[in-house]
């Protein structure tokens, strides 16, 4: 009997699904898309209803051959790719490659990779959704038109190799606009005034001035602050009102993709990679489970809907783990945003039996952190609100006793927890922030407000909250101290990955599945750089953004991009079609292209500046070269004076590191840009040619690598001193006479080389060009002996081979095997930690 063919995207997903289907099915991974528009040309016939010209992706030809061989004898082919537009389009391309008269193509969709979900999908297959495919095709063609039509203009006007993207260019504009707002921001001074007060019972407390003469007060300078302080020094202080209200704080809904990306304290790309691993399946060998298990539902969704079975399961878990008082009478329901695609549930655990602590031994630390975050958010979303009593005390300060004309109103708030509610999931009380949920990974991130108004409002709330003594209306208070506090308004912060995703989401730009690629492309193109974890447009990014906005102001527009996203949704809903959407877009786009070709500023000729060349006296020009913008003399080629235009300094982990002077001549080191990116170079060049690498920090910035350190140890080959250097893959020790002497000191394993022991060869640690560790002879290249597994200096008790090799697998753990492949000696070896 011929096996039915099931096609998924990835090998991990194939492995998980295969165990649920049995022997009658063959599961193969397509490794993503198998066809795409050609790279060498536009591939879209604009004059004939935007017909596409698809071709097989070169790297997928071997996969296609395997798929066709497997489909040859199959009567049924099931496409089980991801349940979104991209997955539907992959299925559509597979249908074109594998379909035939004798073969039926079925579409399987499931929100989670569990046995129940997969078997249900098999019992309820459907056809490929042509509307979803049409929406994906329209997006692909829109992106191709923008990229392949605008890029040649940039090549002509700026330099070759530049590119523009439909959505990425809008994201770049957001970063550029934020940077402009920061540059144009003018700080304003303002003052807060706090009074330290006491009643007949402790503790003392601080109250904040909020009103004067019944109106909100604003103190703008030190003179005004001193005048208020002078008026209050002999005032009488009386409690004018005490109000207590019960406040409720409701849990957030379960995660959608964008909120997960914003909350997880990982880069967006890494968050999605970890979520993909949890979705596709993880091995849980110690739990009596055969094969990988999908731990979370599909991670690309903008719906907060939760299935009935999952609600029943989580409510049973809440009752058992927390008690009846933590279980609402009925399940909590959340409303998705208006433009949400409700095909998938929210991101949640697939089963409540796999709690984070149970599966922790089988996950990496990052996987565990993200899984715990998803688990806690889902459980909390089905629990009652946290409640607390909030007491607000208003205090009147009257400088002229009894007149009532000069009253100043001070305010203080106090909070008393009553019921933890959903916060019990995080081990919190109602007054505690959710950051405490994070111990060694992502937590519920209470982020800083993004505007001056929000920051000032938050500052006001936090400044007047505290523990209060028993107070009642009419109580007289004693003034202990007055404390004026000078403040200045702050500019809006640069975007972090999380806040950029939030901005894209709120403006309807892109989809959750595209946010990671948008951010990656901006960085890969060198249009933005991360400083202290936040995005700053590079000089190249500023130039490109300004040119695109000027020439394509309607296309590179937030509202227009949002409307295009809505049109793509309408295609999927059947409310419009592929041709109509693309024709409407291209009618406007064609006019912009023609205008840009004529009017866009030609940067190849340079932009004049007020700077004069310090060598020949001619004006300097801003030009864009292979490695970004730079300033060059207009007298070129007679004068070749140039300098870097970038002012960005490398940073340490905290962003506060100053660049050390050149260790050879003492002159300042400056940032340069070369073939492989930025580096430090001595400003005394060409007399001093000292350079130093720049290394990426955890926060996404750059820091200077350590200077080379000359050692007392001598090179065994030429007798020169050895030097400790910073390389691409970390520190290493080499000869100071490089490149004349290419000796590199490697860490030895203590095992003599079996091929070159006569000449003193030892097996040492080495690294490949991609940074992967392997083990080879110290006499390389004269001896080519290599091993991928670490050798152990122990003779094989079975065949007397002089060494064993160490190998670690999930199935067997750490083992020591004979170094002779013809010998089957093996023994398990537990890793033992030793302490000094």
User: For residue 119, which of 29, 21, 28 has the smallest C-alpha distance?
Assistant: 21
SS (H, E, C) 512-572: HHHHHHHHHHHHHCCCEEEECCEEEECHHHHHHHHHHHHHCCCCCCHHHHHHHHHHHHHHH
Helix and strand tally (H, E) in the chain? 18, 39
* 3-class DSSP assignment, residue 178: helix
Q: Quick one: which of 131, 56, 90 has its CA closest to 572?
A: 131
The torsion region of residue 120 among left (phi > 0), alpha (psi -120 to 50) and beta comes to: alpha
Biggest alpha carbon distance in the chain? 105
**Based on the number of CB atoms within 10 Å of its own CB, is 378 exposed (0-12), middle (13-18) or buried (19 or more)?**
buried
Beta strand ranges found along 613-701 (DSSP E): 619-625, 628-633, 642-644, 669-674, 677-682, 691-696
Q: Which helix (H) or strand (E) holds 367?
A: helix 365-381
Report yes or no: 533 and 701 within 8 Å, Cβ to Cβ.
yes
Q: Helix crossing, 578-599 with 558-573: angle to 10°?
A: 160
Which position has the token pair 């964008």? 258
CA–CA distance from 159 to each of 440, 452, 645, 773, 796 (Å)? 46, 39, 17, 40, 63
Q: Name the strand (E) or helix (H) holding 506.
A: helix 497-506
Within 13 Å of residue 2, how many CA atoms lie on the same side as its CB? Answer: 14
- Nearest partner of 107 among 135, 128, 92, 123, judged by Cα: 128
Using DSSP bridges, classify how beta strands 25-29 and 4-8 pair: parallel, antiparallel or unpaired.
Answer: parallel
Catalytically annotated residue among 25, 148, 279, 298: 298
DSSP 8-state assignment for residue 472: -
Where helices occur in 300-363 by DSSP H, the ranges are 308-322, 356-359
Sheet strands (E) in 348-475 = 386-398, 408-419
Which residues are CB-neighbours of 94 under 8 A, at least 6 positions away?
Answer: 7, 30, 34, 67, 77, 79, 81, 105
Cα angle 291-293-294, degrees, rounded to a multiple of 5:
150
Q: C-alpha distances in angstroms, 427 versus 322, 358, 439?
A: 11, 18, 12
Contact 517, 525 (CB under 8 A): no
Kind plus residue range of the DSSP H or E element containing 246: strand 236-249
Closest to 676 in 3D by CA, of 728, 723, 640, 725 = 728
CB proximity list for 88: less than 8 A, separation 6 or greater: 81, 107, 128, 129, 132, 133, 136
Q: Can you list the alpha helix ranges (DSSP code H) found in 158-218?
A: 166-184
> Is 298 designated active site?
yes
Count Cβ atoms below 10 Å from residue 786 Cβ, excluding itself. 12
Instruction: Please give the positions annotated as active site.
Output: 298
């Amino acid at each position: 009997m011929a096996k039915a063919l099931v096609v998924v995207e990835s090998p991990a997903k194939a492995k998980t699904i295969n165990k649920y289907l049995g022997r009658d099915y063959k599961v193969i991974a397509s490794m993503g898309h198998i066809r795409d528009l050609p790279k060498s040309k536009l591939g879209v016939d604009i004059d004939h209803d935007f017909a596409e010209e698809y071709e097989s992706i070169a790297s997928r030809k071997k996969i296609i051959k395997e798929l066709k061989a497997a489909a040859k004898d199959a009567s049924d082919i099931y496409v089980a790719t991801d349940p979104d537009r991209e997955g539907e389009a992959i299925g559509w391309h597979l249908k074109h490659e594998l379909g035939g008269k004798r073969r039926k193509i079925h579409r399987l969709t499931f929100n989670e990779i569990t046995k129940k979900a997969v078997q249900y999908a098999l019992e309820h297959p459907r056809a490929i959704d042509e509307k979803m495919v049409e929406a994906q095709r329209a997006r692909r063609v829109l992106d191709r038109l923008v990229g392949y039509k605008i890029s040649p203009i940039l090549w002509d006007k700026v330099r070759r190799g530049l590119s523009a993207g439909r959505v990425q260019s809008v994201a770049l504009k957001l970063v550029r606009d934020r940077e402009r707002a920061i540059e144009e921001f003018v700080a304003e001074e303002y003052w807060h005034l706090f009074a330290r007060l006491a009643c007949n019972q402790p503790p003392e407390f601080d109250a904040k001035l909020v009103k004067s003469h019944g109106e909100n007060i604003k103190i703008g300078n030190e003179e005004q602050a001193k005048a208020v302080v002078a008026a209050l020094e002999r005032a009488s202080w009386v409690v004018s009102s005490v109000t207590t209200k019960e406040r409720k704080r409701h849990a957030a809904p379960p995660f959608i993709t964008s909120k997960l990306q914003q909350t997880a304290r990982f880069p967006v790309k890494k968050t999605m990679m970890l979520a993909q691993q949890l979705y596709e399946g993880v091995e849980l060998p110690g739990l009596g489970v055969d094969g990988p298990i999908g731990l979370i539902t599909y991670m690309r969704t903008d719906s907060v809907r939760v299935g009935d079975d999952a609600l029943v399961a989580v409510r049973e878990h809440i009752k058992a783990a927390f008690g009846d008082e933590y279980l609402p009478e009925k399940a909590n329901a959340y409303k998705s945003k208006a433009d949400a695609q409700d095909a998938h549930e929210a991101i949640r655990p697939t089963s409540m039996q796999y709690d984070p602590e149970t599966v922790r031994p089988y996950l990496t630390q990052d996987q565990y952190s993200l899984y715990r975050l998803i688990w806690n958010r889902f459980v909390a979303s089905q629990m009652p609100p946290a409640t607390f009593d909030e007491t607000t005390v208003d205090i009147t300060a009257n400088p002229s006793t009894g007149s009532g004309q000069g009253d100043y109103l001070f305010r203080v708030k106090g909070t008393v927890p009553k019921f933890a509610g959903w916060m019990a999931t995080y081990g919190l009380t109602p007054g505690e922030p959710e950051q405490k949920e994070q111990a060694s990974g992502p937590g519920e991130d209470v982020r800083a407000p993004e505007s001056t108004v929000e920051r000032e409002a938050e500052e006001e709330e936090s400044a007047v909250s505290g523990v209060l003594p028993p107070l009642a209306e009419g109580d007289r208070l004693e003034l202990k101290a007055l404390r004026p506090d000078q403040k200045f308004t702050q500019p809006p912060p640069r975007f972090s990955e999380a806040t950029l995703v939030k901005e894209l989401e709120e403006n309807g730009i892109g989809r959750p599945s595209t946010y990671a690629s948008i951010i990656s492309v901006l960085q890969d193109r060198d249009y933005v750089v991360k400083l202290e974890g936040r995005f700053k447009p590079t000089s190249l990014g500023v130039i490109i953004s300004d040119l695109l906005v000027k020439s394509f102001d309607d296309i590179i527009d937030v509202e227009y991009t949002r409307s295009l996203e809505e049109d793509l949704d309408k295609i999927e809903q059947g409310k419009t079609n592929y041709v109509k959407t693309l024709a409407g877009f291209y009618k406007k786009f064609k006019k912009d292209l023609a205008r840009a070709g004529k009017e866009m500023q030609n940067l190849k000729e340079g932009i004049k500046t007020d700077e004069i060349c310090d060598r020949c006296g001619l004006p300097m020009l801003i030009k864009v070269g292979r490695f970004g913008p730079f300033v060059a003399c207009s007298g070129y080629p007679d004068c070749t004076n140039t300098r870097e235009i970038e002012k960005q300094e490398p940073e340490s982990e905290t962003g506060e590191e100053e660049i050390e002077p050149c260790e050879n001549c003492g002159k300042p080191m400056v940032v340069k840009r070369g073939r492989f990116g930025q580096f430090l170079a001595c400003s005394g060049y060409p007399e001093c040619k000292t350079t130093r690498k720049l290394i990426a920090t955890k926060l996404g910035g750059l820091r200077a690598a350590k200077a080379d350190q000359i050692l007392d140890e001598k090179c065994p080959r030429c007798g020169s001193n050895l030097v400790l250097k910073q390389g691409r893959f970390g520190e290493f020790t080499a000869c100071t006479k490089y490149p004349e002497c290419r000796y590199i000191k490697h860490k030895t394993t203590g095992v003599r080389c079996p091929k070159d022991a006569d000449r003193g060869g030892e097996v040492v640690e080495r690294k490949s060009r991609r940074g992967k560790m392997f083990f080879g002879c110290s006499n390389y290249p004269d001896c080519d002996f290599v091993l991928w597994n670490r050798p152990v200096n122990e003779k094989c008790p079975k065949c007397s081979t002089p060494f064993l090799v160490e190998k670690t697998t999930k199935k067997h753990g750490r083992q020591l095997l004979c170094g002779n492949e013809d010998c089957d000696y093996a023994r398990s070896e537990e890793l033992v930690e030793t302490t000094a």
